[in-house]
Structure 1
Amino acid sequence: MKKLIFFLLAVVLVVALAGCGSKGTGGTKYKFATNAAYAPMEYMDKDKLIGFDIDFFAEVMKEAGLDYEITNTGWDTMLTNVKQGKEFQGGVSAVSITDDRKQTYDYSIPYFESMNMILVKEGSPIKSADDLKDKKVAVQISTTADTLMSKILGEKNPSLKRLDNNTLALMELENNGVDAVVADIAIVREYVKNNPNKKFVTISDPKNFESEYYGILLPKGSELKAKLDPAIKKIIENGAYAKVYKKWFGQEPDTKKLLEQK
């Protein structure tokens, strides 16, 4: 009889534990990809994945009650795999929302305002994007910087160097392989901050480079959008977003403008 009681208790315990998945997930763990070469948005600190996007996404998934993991992949690999929606259910990697990408992907609501910026060496004659027309420029391939510079220089112009990530683009500028780098403002400013002795100059050009917004990248028709959008809105409204933003950028975000975006 005692053996039977112990057996029944063990069965009950196993069933109870099986039901203890993440809140609202039924035990589902969602897999997301990122390209961790985009400091301060996402990058590797030894073997640890850190950055604004990583902390922001943790708050979103906590609010949504969803279990998840993020894997560091290459940029193009992330785009391809999220499009397929098999290995990864989404991408969190400072992905700008564009009309072109909307043909292939779904997005969460916007969560970050950005703008492309020009980086040159001190003493450069370059003062705006118009000055880049006869110069060598490095960009990360398949980014909005690539799209912008393809329009300015010409898509097949050999002076436009499309590289796998911004780290390589910045190295090209350091080694005098190009005259300028065009990349997201957060990446450019972080690089300048971390390299004060290299005498780089940042150039904003709102006439040619308009504001753009990041969203969480999702496969077309993803059921996750209905879960992520309310969670993003909630953490922006309750102050959790501002806390993460100040941690990484040292200032308050314009959450009012962000919430006005659709």
Structure 2
Amino acid sequence: MDRRTYLKASSGAVAALGLAGCLGDSGGSGSDDNGDNGDGEKTSSDGKDGADGGKIIVGSDIPYKPFEYRKADGSLEGFDPAIAEAVFKGQLGREYEFQKTSFDTIIQSLKNKSFRVIMSAMTITDKRAEKVDFSDPYFTAYQTVAIRKGGDIGKLDDLKGKTVAVQKGTTGESAAEDLKKEFDGSLSIDSYDQITGAFNALSNKQAVAVINDNTVNAQFVNEKDGIVFLEGKGEAEKQGKKAPPYLTLTVEEYGIAFRQDDDELRKKVNDAIKTIKDDGTYDEIYGEYFEG
């Protein structure tokens, strides 16, 4: 499947999926540390019972538009909830519920059995794979740089000596740290609990750029006048990918995360992902949220 690069201006595939539970914040990339559910809301089950037929509790960090967020009426919206509906309800015949959790503690919360799986725009990395097992990839993303239009940043090197904003525990934060090493330490990184904090810092001129997943940056670029992508050639083109028309720092794959003793469910989910890709369901969902 060709990689698409632009967000739709408005998306609304799953406004009423009937998902109970909490919000979360997400962050296209994830965490590796200790944590809790993050909002005081508890669940009595991790979705696993003797017959393995219980409700599947899904840990997620919200808001992380367009992957998971709440609409004004409180209903859950986003690409990840739509994929969950197709996989868990449509293919596996299982009830499911999204539960809010902080992204920088989400893996430890999974290991503590606060929920059954993680769906939170989480990038598959070797470091995370030491602690959880991932499904087959279901989304390709790039780390990108959002900047103010007409500012002092015209190329990547212009970030030297400046401050960039990221979300804690994400691969955007990791990409910024790698860039800091490349700049011999000449870069300041402000890390925020939620991506909205990073975007606010850019708008308020507390940072010159936000480093984050392309689709989430695109949402901000589309909605805010005066915010654009930093242009240039990057990692996607180096790897021979169908590169988007802006700078890419990394090429990444998202996966659903499972505890390392949950092989049976993981295999069923992999089969379900393959099915929705083969039968066109995935493309329909994708088209609701992304252009191209």
2:195 maps to which of 166, 176, 179: 166
Between structures 1 and 2, the one with greater helix share? 1
Partner of 1:211, secondary structure, is strand
Show the 5 A alignment for 1:1-262.
27-46=53-72, 47-61=74-88, 62-84=90-112, 86-154=113-181, 159-195=188-224, 198-204=225-231, 205-207=233-235, 209-223=249-263, 224-251=265-292
Aligned residue for 1:260? Answer: none
The structure with the largest alpha-carbon Rg is 1
Q: Which amino acid aligns with 1:103?
A: E
Shift of 1:188: 0.7
Q: Which amino acid aligns with 1:180?
A: A
Aligned residue for 2:10? Answer: none
- Counterpart CA distance in 2 for 1:101 and 1:131 is 31
Q: Which amino acid aligns with 2:148?
A: K
Q: Which amino acid aligns with 1:225?
A: R
Shift of 1:218: 1.4
Partner of 1:40, secondary structure, is coil
Partner of 2:200, secondary structure, is helix
Partner of 2:250, secondary structure, is coil
Question: CA contact under 8 A between 2:145 and 2:209: conserved in structure 1?
Answer: yes
Partner of 1:53, secondary structure, is helix
Q: Deviations over 1:99-156 (max 9, x none)?
A: 1111111111000010011011112232343332321000001111111111221598
Unaligned runs of at least 5 residues, structure 2: 1-50, 236-247
Aligned length: 224
- Counterpart CA distance in 1 for 2:285 and 2:85 is 10
Q: TM-score, normalised by structure 1?
A: 0.80
Q: TM-score, normalised by structure 2?
A: 0.72
Work out the percentage of aligned pairs sharing the same amino acid.
31
- Counterpart CA distance in 2 for 1:33 and 1:242 is 24
